[in-house]
Amino acid sequence: MSNFWAALTLQAGYNAALVAIGATLLGVAAGAAGSFVTLRKRALVSDATAHAALPGIVLAFMVMVALGGEGRSLAGLLLGAALSGLAGLLTMSWITRRTRLAEDAAMGAVLGVFFGLGIVLLTLVQTMRAGRQAGLEEFLLGSTAGMLREDALLIGLGGTVVLALCWLMRRPMTLVAFDPGYAATLGYNTNAIDLLIMGLAMAVTVIGLKLVGLVLIVALLIIPPVAARFWTESAARMVWIASAIGGGGAYLGAAISASAPALPTGPIIVLVLAAGFTLSFLFAPARGVLGAALRHARLRRRLAKGA
């Protein structure tokens, strides 16, 4: 218990404090960006983008090694992930607009092809002398053991930029999420705003790869806004509540992981968020199951008295 309290108060060591702060900023940004993705009913975009980022990570490593570096620069790897994820995002958009395939089919195709290519490249890079110590497989499930100050700053800065864009573009993104036809009549470029929503999800996906990994990053984007939806009927309040749930869950998960070093940070964060979702599902006064049951019971009593 003392270890947990030390981690919760940022007294468990420099690395644990870096991870907690970086995870919190990422969780806040993920909650905000994920709200618009969820409202737009494109929750699987982040999953497809995450899987599409894998070949970019491996190719970035190979390029950096070919240029004489070690290939483990987080900024370089995330740049490769961003370019690859963007390619996947644009491919999904092109398939949806230019063919008769549904959007979910386009997502499934891009997810499978890009992830398969990434696994093949990851297998090939393991045959390289530098590849054996690359640790690129850590991006699959996340790893915080060797996080540096520069890594935490990069994650924090990326999360801050995403949050700022969510705030600045909240009105057009909300309009497009609920009624793209009406947004178009107001003069908004709905295709561009759609790409912005998916681009913000991609940005969170890329900067969160180090902490959570590409397999679980979708949970960080989707669980907070889904949990927040139980607490409010307002889209604006939903964004803030989702940010609070994402940031709080990430901070608590990082503290639990730091107090028991054998536990991986990413999966623990996801489990904490899942617990938050369960509590919201059961106890939220507006839309929770127990709240609805209590309202129904009160209504039945009033009807019984009236009869």
205 is written with which tokens? Answer: 């996906």
The reply to whether the predicted model has a pTM over 0.75 is yes
Alpha helices (H) along the chain: 2-8, 14-39, 45-66, 74-98, 103-125, 138-141, 149-168, 170-178, 180-185, 190-207, 217-229, 235-259, 265-283, 289-306
More confident residue, 139 or 227: 227
Local structure of residue 74 (DSSP, 8 states): H
- What the chain holds in terms of domains, given with CATH numbers, is 2-306 (1.10.3470.10)
pLDDT band for position 62 (cuts 50, 70, 90)? confident
CA-based nearest residue to 175, from 198, 200, 193, 196: 193
What local confidence, expressed as pLDDT, does residue 3 receive? 73
pLDDT in tens, 95-115: 888 888 777 788 888 888 888
- Lowest mean pLDDT: which of 96-100, 141-145, 202-206, 296-300? 141-145
Instruction: Report DSSP letters for 195-209, one per residue.
Output: HHHHHHHHHHHHHTT
What local confidence, expressed as pLDDT, does residue 215 receive? 72
The span from the CA of 307 to the CA of 286, in Å, is 27
For residues 138-149, average pLDDT: 67
What local confidence, expressed as pLDDT, does residue 132 receive? 53
For residues 255-275, average pLDDT: 84
More confident residue, 2 or 208: 208
Instruction: Report DSSP letters for 178-240, one per residue.
Output: H-HHHHHHTT--HHHHHHHHHHHHHHHHHHTTTTT-TTTHHHHHHHHHHHHHTT-S-HHHHHH
pLDDT in tens, 154-168: 888 888 888 899 989
Q: Return the SS3 of 13.
A: coil
What local confidence, expressed as pLDDT, does residue 143 receive? 67
The 8 Å CB, 24+ separation contacts for 178-185 are 178/39, 178/235
